[in-house]
Structure 1
Amino acid sequence: MKTVSMLGLGLALWAGLAASAQALGPFQVYEQALRNDPEFLSAIKARDAGLESRNIGRAGLLPKLSYNYNKGRNNSQATYLNERGNTHDDRNYNSYGSTLTLQQPLIDYEAYANYRKGVAQSLFADETFRSKSQELLVRVLTHYTQALFAQDQIDNARAKKKAYEQQFRQNEHMFRQGEGTRTDILEAESRYELATAEEIQAHDEQDAALRELGALIGVATLDIDELTPLTRSFSSLPLEPGSFSSWHEMALESNPILASQREALEVARYEVERNRAGHLPKLNAYASVRKMESDSGNTYNQRYDTNTIGIEISVPLYAGGGVSASVRQASSNLAQVEYELEGKTRETLIELRRQFNACQSGVSKLRAYQKALISAEALVVSTRQSILGGERVNLDALNAEQQLYSTRRDLAQTRYDYLLAWTKLHFYAGTLGAQDLARVDEAFIAPGQAY
């Protein structure tokens, strides 16, 4: 018997360790999503491509070195007019040319504007990637809490069904005893069926959330048992700083969406300058080394070695109005981006305020629902006792049960909403990082921790 008990204990410990090894908290899901989420991996490549814009723009300001070589076989006939008439000379010969050219822009405003545009495009790509990184944190926590809330709804619906089934049987028994009514039976049966429908809907919502979560980490399906639930003792997270004005300043300074939009404005501004440069002259310095032999009929059997150094200037005079039209087009695009930045700023600050208010009111709502849950549980007990004493009727019991389960649902929803609001507040402020998700992760049950 002692051996069997030790074996059973060993199996229990092994099962516990296996469950702990498979449990995934929000932070573990995020770490896997960094390696598997297609949207995030796409953002990495988009950033890498965007960072090259700086190098592409800078190339227009740097020297250009080119080499050209040609060699050919020529068959020609030279005709000379003399006193005896025309004399023909057939020439069959090889020709070749070799040119090495170095060119350096000295004054080229278009190249300079293109370089500054490339710098802005590079910064735009970097800020966009920072936004995608923070969005991944929000997406992970959103789908994670959706799956857990759906499980809370399933558990709640099952508890309701059990309570209504007991009430249904009790009402049937009382009806047979002549002490109840048919209406009481129908009322309990109706509540039971509604709870069944709620359970089915919660299962569908949970399946969708788990599939979304699985897509983030590259697996076909996830089981709800693989996620760590939220601790029942969770109350709130520290809100630092405590004033909205500080969060307002942080958002204007650090929000990656606004930062990328400002870089988009710089891109549009230098696109205007690049097009305006079509009216301006260009000055280049150049040097070349050229070797040619019999490159034309006039240089037959002659070889030239030529070294050249100098400057060249090009002055645009008229291009059919295309340059002016391009400037007007780029200016309109610039104005469009300015309005988009203004709109995005207003939208971000509105969302920032909404999440800040949700964090502040969420703490009070959590306390209120926790107290309401205690009262609802007590109400169910007292109502059942009052029915036995003849002071209440069956409908009162059903309503008390309904209030209890609604309070449980609202409390669970408020807890998850608070976590998301706290996370989104940091997202809109532009400060959301892995360390914030780690703090949220602490609110969930760690593997091996008692629930």
Structure 2
Amino acid sequence: MNGALVKAYLTNPDINSQRATVRQTDENVPTANAGYLPKVSAVGTAGVQHANGNEIIPSSPELRYATGAYPRSYGVQASETVFDGYQTINKIRGAESDVLAARETLRNTEQTTLLSGVQAYMDVLQNSAIVDLDRNNVDVLKEQLRETKDRFTVGEVTRTDVAQAEASLASANATLLSDQAVLEASVATYRQVIGDEPKTLAPVKPIVRPLPSTLPEAVNISQVEHPAIVAQEHGVDAALLSIKIAEGALYPQASVSAQVTQAYDVNSTPGMRQFSAQILGQLTIPIYQGGGEYAAIRQSKESLTVQELKADSTRDQIRQNVVASWGRYQAAIGVVKAARASVAANEVALAGVREEAKVGQRTTLDVLNAQQALLSARTQLVRAEHDQVVFSYALLSAVGRLNVPTLGLAVAEYDPTVHFDQVKDKWIGLRTPDGK
């Protein structure tokens, strides 16, 4: 199964989509960092001017004139924010909190996908075993029907016994067809999650060593380590920083701007040039701007309350999931033991009923019922072993530890910090680190 989980970890679109989302979120940090950097632009103008007319002066000839010029200029202007009410630093911190939350969401997606992989693997394994039991049951019932017909021919049994054997065979064939359809559906799910067709699937044992030894320990671990909870905690941090960003609008704003310009044909005068340079400092002290900034602050405070309540709800949900998973896993252990005992007892019972039927102490119906009881017991054992494995992995997922290191998968764990380090201080460039 580890090989199947490796394939899912590398190729599952849900995991890869969330990885891309984390990389997308990483870019919020250099976006916020832009508030510290200057803004520089080049400016150029060019045009044509023409004027003509006449001027009348008393007792003088009429004076006509025509002028033409090509005014043009070029220059560079730059601006730098000196103080923005701590908005930039809080935006950076908020962006970093968003990145950490996205990473935890990725961890949770990996857990969910790996658990889906376990479920898909075990479903195919279980349904394949059930179909094999059904086929074996059909073969046994065919032989039972043949023997019953032979005994009917020599007068040892009645026509009723033959009809009972035929009815059991028909029912077994119907069950086989139904279980084959279930198997085909589980194979399709396996293909969707793992990304490959199931071939020879090896049996799997429940995972035991990484599981907590007690329920209180499992709950405590989940409340600290589960990625869904950690992601919500980072969301609370980001919401708190949003309040500080909104409050920054009430602080004074200070900036510096500089401009250098070279102009030609100034004032429509051909040949006239002018060079200018300036540097200005600007301080803006907000007094009243319509009240929108106060509404934004109040809104951010309510957003923080919403995020805190979501975090509390997530903690309760995770705790409930841990308790439920613990109960299912513990019950599965007992069910497997009971199912194995049931199979052993039904095997003995079927062997005895068959021997008694040979000497006329049991009817054909008794044999068929014993055969059906053994089939049901074996099917229950297959399902119980399936549930024990799935529930063990589900418990590990519920506490937040269903990951590559814990499972010991032979694959390099995806490291989201690599991309973050590549882009966090990037000032310029269109290409992503992977070349897009």
CA distance in 2, matches of 1:33, 1:181: 57
1:250 counterpart (211, 221, 240): 221
CA distance in 2, matches of 1:40, 1:425: 21
* Partner AA of 2:71 in structure 1: N
Deviation of the 1:80 alpha carbon: 12
CA-to-aligned-CA distance 1:350-378 (integer Å, 9 cap, x gap): 12122222333333322222222111111
Normalising to structure 2: TM-score of the pair?
A: 0.82
CA distance in 1, matches of 2:265, 2:359: 120
> Residue 282 of structure 1 contacts residue 314 of structure 1 at CA under 8 Å; is this kept in 2?
yes
> Residue 35 of structure 1 contacts residue 217 of structure 1 at CA under 8 Å; is this kept in 2?
no
CA distance in 2, matches of 1:164, 1:316: 92
CA-to-aligned-CA distance 1:117-166 (integer Å, 9 cap, x gap): 21121112111111122222112111111111111111111121122222
Matches within 5 A, 1:70-109: 70-75=44-49, 77=51, 90-109=67-86
Matches within 5 A, 1:290-305: 290-293=260-263, 297=267, 301-305=272-276
Secondary structure in 2 aligned to 1:340?
helix
Counterparts in 2 of 1:209 and 1:435: CA distance versus 1, 3 Å: farther
CA-to-aligned-CA distance 1:56-99 (integer Å, 9 cap, x gap): 22322x12231222131341559999987999773514331413
1:449 matched residue in structure 2: none
Secondary structure in 2 aligned to 1:391?
coil
2:319 matched residue in structure 1: 349
Aligned pair 1:385/2:344, yes or no?
Answer: no
> Residue 131 of structure 2 contacts residue 179 of structure 2 at CA under 8 Å; is this kept in 1?
yes
> Residue 110 of structure 1 contacts residue 274 of structure 1 at CA under 8 Å; is this kept in 2?
yes
1:17 matched residue in structure 2: none
Secondary structure in 2 aligned to 1:122?
helix
2:182 matched residue in structure 1: 205
* Partner AA of 1:427 in structure 2: S
Secondary structure in 1 aligned to 2:201?
coil
Secondary structure in 2 aligned to 1:290?
strand
Secondary structure in 2 aligned to 1:137?
helix
Counterparts in 2 of 1:326 and 1:200: CA distance versus 1, 3 Å: farther
Higher RCO (C-alpha under 8 Å, 6+ residues apart): 2
Secondary structure in 1 aligned to 2:208?
coil
Deviation of the 1:48 alpha carbon: 0.8
2:91 matched residue in structure 1: 114
Deviation of the 1:179 alpha carbon: 3.6
2:42 matched residue in structure 1: 68
1:43 matched residue in structure 2: 18
Normalising to structure 1: TM-score of the pair?
A: 0.79
CA distance in 1, matches of 2:370, 2:349: 6
Secondary structure in 1 aligned to 2:83?
strand
Deviation of the 1:39 alpha carbon: 2.0
CA distance in 2, matches of 1:67, 1:290: 11
> Residue 247 of structure 1 contacts residue 429 of structure 1 at CA under 8 Å; is this kept in 2?
yes
CA distance in 2, matches of 1:251, 1:235: 20
Q: Percent identity?
A: 18
Query: Which range moved further: 240-249 or 139-148?
Result: 240-249
Deviation of the 1:216 alpha carbon: 3.8
1:266 matched residue in structure 2: 237
> Residue 77 of structure 1 contacts residue 91 of structure 1 at CA under 8 Å; is this kept in 2?
yes
CA root-mean-square deviation: 3.2
1:428 counterpart (381, 384, 398): 398
CA distance in 2, matches of 1:339, 1:189: 63
CA distance in 1, matches of 2:56, 2:107: 82
1:187 matched residue in structure 2: 164
* Partner AA of 2:102 in structure 1: A
1:228 counterpart (184, 191, 201): 201
Aligned pair 1:415/2:392, yes or no?
Answer: no
Aligned pair 1:168/2:145, yes or no?
Answer: yes
* Partner AA of 1:115 in structure 2: I
Counterparts in 2 of 1:184 and 1:276: CA distance versus 1, 3 Å: farther
CA distance in 2, matches of 1:293, 1:439: 68
Secondary structure in 1 aligned to 2:256?
strand
Report the count of equivalent residues: 406
1:196 matched residue in structure 2: 173
1:315 matched residue in structure 2: 286
Mind listing any 5+ residue stretches in structure 1 that lack a counterpart? 1-25, 441-451
* Partner AA of 1:386 in structure 2: E
